[in-house]
Chain A
Amino acid sequence: MIMDTQLASLLTAGALIVIGIFGTLFLDNLIKKVISLAFIGDGANLFLIAMGYKVGGIVYIFLPGMSMSNFSQNASYPLPFALVLTSIVIGASTMAVMLGIIILLNKKYGSLSASKILGE
């Protein structure tokens, strides 16, 4: 049986978040921690995209000759796709700042170990 696309997306998002939380909590290397945090953010973004999925839906662009009634009933929901773009930008900015701080801390401590730098 082929799994429903939305369900598959939600399960993948859940898996990404669980892997990300595990990595953030249990990995000591700060770069690996940041990669794990990116997994959590990507999971949340995939979750948001999955909210806009519509079975049998059409692309939400109103083309000439298209019936208004058909479009309004069958177009997939565009809002989550617009929102997720903003969320990706925020995630990238946050990650850039985190990596910048890690570079400075690596120069100071000569290590990337969270237990050494952050005392965890």
Chain B
Amino acid sequence: MNYLIPLMVVIPITCALFLNLLHERTRTVKAISIIVALALPTVPLIANYGVQYFGGYPPLAQNPTIAVGLPTLITGTALNIFHPAITYVFGSAQKLMIVILGFIALFAIYISLYEVKKASGVYAYLMLMGTASIIAMLLSDDIFNLYVFFEIAALAQVGIVLVSKVDYNYETALKYMILGSIASPLLLIGIALLLGVTGNVNITDIVYSIQHGLVNPQSPVLLMACSLIIFGWLYGTGLPPFHTIKSAMYSKALPTGAALLQAFSVFSFVAIGIIILRIFSYLPFAHIFIIGISLVAMTLGITMAITQTDFKRLIAYLAVGELGYIGIGLGLGTALGITAGLFQAVNEAVITAFLFIGFGTIMYKTKETDMRKLGGMLVETPKSALLVLLAGLAMAGVPPFNAFQSKLMLVQASLNSGLPEIAIIMVLLSIVTFMTFMRAFHTIYLRPKPADLEIKNEKIPNITLVAMVAFLVVCLVFGLFPQIATNFLQGMAMSIA
């Protein structure tokens, strides 16, 4: 039994609840938040791979003592190997993704604690709660458990937007919740249909039931379940038609909150996407739909980014567009494609967090986010301007950064699958991403400062620059040595393909 596996979820949730109670005690909030934030990437780093059966109930086949005396109706059938309890699986792919998520959360929490005089226990609570939920989604082999954490993550995301004090944040949060209150029950019905057909909520058992003919794979009920789960997936991750509300959520959060929200979207995209592939990969419709919606997300996200005047909204749309790349990799369904998609997910989470925090440094000098009213910021924030430029180049897939390697792998996977059209679209959209970013960079940093732009004499906290340098190091390391990441991801990709 590897107790570090459940602790990855239990530690942040427990401490988050305490932080909520310690709202006014700034020093205690800071101390607890720093310790827990450090634990977020450290615990998965030191944990051994393994499986955690909650309640200590492994399948009967692995637990002969309990199986003694049970009728053959149970021990002589597939029930003997089914999982009676919630199961968490911690493999190499989960390790990499949880470490990266923890790494982003660590800096988001640190910056949020040090950029204000009075640290907010509520904000730290929401960030830790959301992070714990996404970690649980990545670990869980139980689709209902995943749904529960999907809902907790959605509430945490709404909370992060609510505490931001950005104009119209309440309105955006309510819109998101209304849409979520339609999408989540539909996802639940999809899960209920799977339960009704297979009698299981454990994903490994559901896959077993389908592959071994215990249920009819072509059952229309299963097709309906697939459609409903995909609908919930679109909502949770901000794919079209939910891309506008999701990008609005990012833009109404503080830069640290937005950095974390997009990481939540990326990793929940991966968690649910992998489940869809594991259960429904035998349906050609599932692959075609994932590729189709990913192409729409890429095209809509990146083209809508061109028209934005608010820099937070611009990054938000670029983030939605980048999700499409991950979806293409998963939708191709080959080992190379899935590895490339997962690699792109890890890269995108880091790069977008880098961009949100980088562009967010402008808000220390001026509260303005409208690019039409900004200019000349290179003189005010030269160090962060250089780092933001590097982040933008990384997002566009310029070598030697990490997204170049993952996008190259995606192009190779598309060509290997006989889909050169997709490769061409991906390359063209990368060029558009580059142009969009450079236009924003020129507007904010390079053109002359508008006469009416007020610059505050506020220093950018050192921790913000340290975070940006740390993200840059990750981008460079994964760009120069991509095998470090892909070695972690290949096992999962091969098991799904």
Interface residues of A (CB under 8 A from B): 17, 21, 24, 30, 33, 37, 40-41, 43-45, 47-48, 51, 68-69, 72-73, 77, 79-80, 83, 86-87, 90, 93-94, 97-98, 101-102, 104-105, 108, 117-119
What are 8 A-B contacts with C-beta separation under 8 Å? A24-B178, A33-B178, A44-B189, A72-B73, A87-B188, A90-B148, A101-B174, A105-B170
Other-chain contact of A98, B74, B144, B171, B174 (Cβ < 8 Å):
B174
Whether A68 contacts B70 by the Cβ 8 Å rule is yes
Whether B185 contacts A104 by the Cβ 8 Å rule is no
Other-chain contact of A79, B155, B184, B185, B201 (Cβ < 8 Å):
B201
CB distance from A37 to the nearest CB of B (A): 4
Interface residues of B (CB under 8 A from A): 69-71, 73-74, 144, 148, 151-152, 154-155, 158-159, 162, 170-171, 173-175, 177-178, 180-182, 184-186, 188-189, 191-192, 195-196, 199, 201
Other-chain contact of A51, B73, B182, B195 (Cβ < 8 Å):
B195
Give complex CA distance A105, B168 in Å. 10
CB distance from A80 to the nearest CB of B (A): 6
Among B73, B162, B178, B186, residue most surrounded by chain A Cβ atoms (within 10 Å): B178
- What 7 A-B pairs are tightest by C-beta distance, nearest first? A44-B185, A37-B181, A51-B196, A48-B192, A44-B188, A90-B151, A101-B174
CB distance from A27 to the nearest CB of B (A): 11
Q: Known: A77-B199, A101-B173, A105-B174. Is A69-B71 also a contact (CB below 8 A)?
A: yes
CB distance from A46 to the nearest CB of B (A): 10
| Nearest B residue to A53, CB-CB | B196
Give complex CA distance A18, B203 in Å. 29
Interface of A, secondary structure class, is: helix
| Nearest A residue to B152, CB-CB | A90
CB distance from A83 to the nearest CB of B (A): 5
Give complex CA distance A68, B71 in Å. 7
Give complex CA distance A37, B223 in Å. 25
| Nearest B residue to A30, CB-CB | B174
Give complex CA distance A43, B181 in Å. 12
Across chains A and B, the number of contacting residue pairs, with CB separation under 8 Å, is 92
| Nearest B residue to A14, CB-CB | B189
Give complex CA distance A94, B176 in Å. 11
Q: What residues of B have a CB within 8 angstroms of the CB of A69 in the complex?
A: 71, 73
CB distance from A102 to the nearest CB of B (A): 7
Q: What residues of A have a CB within 8 angstroms of the CB of B182 in the complex?
A: 21, 24, 37, 40
Other-chain contact of A94, B71, B155, B175, B199 (Cβ < 8 Å):
B155
Q: Known: A24-B178, A93-B155. Is A79-B188 also a contact (CB below 8 A)?
A: no
Give complex CA distance A44, B155 in Å. 19
CB distance from B461 to the nearest CB of A (A): 30
Q: Known: A51-B196, A73-B73, A86-B148. Is A44-B174 also a contact (CB below 8 A)?
A: no
CB distance from B419 to the nearest CB of A (A): 37
Whether A47 contacts B189 by the Cβ 8 Å rule is yes
Whether B177 contacts A97 by the Cβ 8 Å rule is yes
Q: What residues of A have a CB within 8 angstroms of the CB of B180 in the complex?
A: 94
Q: What residues of A have a CB within 8 angstroms of the CB of B73 in the complex?
A: 69, 72-73
Q: What residues of A have a CB within 8 angstroms of the CB of B74 in the complex?
A: 72
Other-chain contact of A104, B70, B170, B188 (Cβ < 8 Å):
B170
| Nearest B residue to A77, CB-CB | B199
Give complex CA distance A98, B180 in Å. 11
Q: What residues of A have a CB within 8 angstroms of the CB of B71 in the complex?
A: 68-69, 72
Whether A37 contacts B178 by the Cβ 8 Å rule is yes
| Nearest B residue to A33, CB-CB | B178
Whether B144 contacts A83 by the Cβ 8 Å rule is yes
Q: What residues of B have a CB within 8 angstroms of the CB of A80 in the complex?
A: 192, 195
CB distance from B358 to the nearest CB of A (A): 30
CB distance from A13 to the nearest CB of B (A): 8
Whether B151 contacts A47 by the Cβ 8 Å rule is no
Q: What residues of A have a CB within 8 angstroms of the CB of B186 in the complex?
A: 44
Give complex CA distance A119, B152 in Å. 27
Among A24, A94, A117, residue most surrounded by chain B Cβ atoms (within 10 Å): A94
Q: What residues of A have a CB within 8 angstroms of the CB of B184 in the complex?
A: 41, 90, 94
CB distance from A19 to the nearest CB of B (A): 13
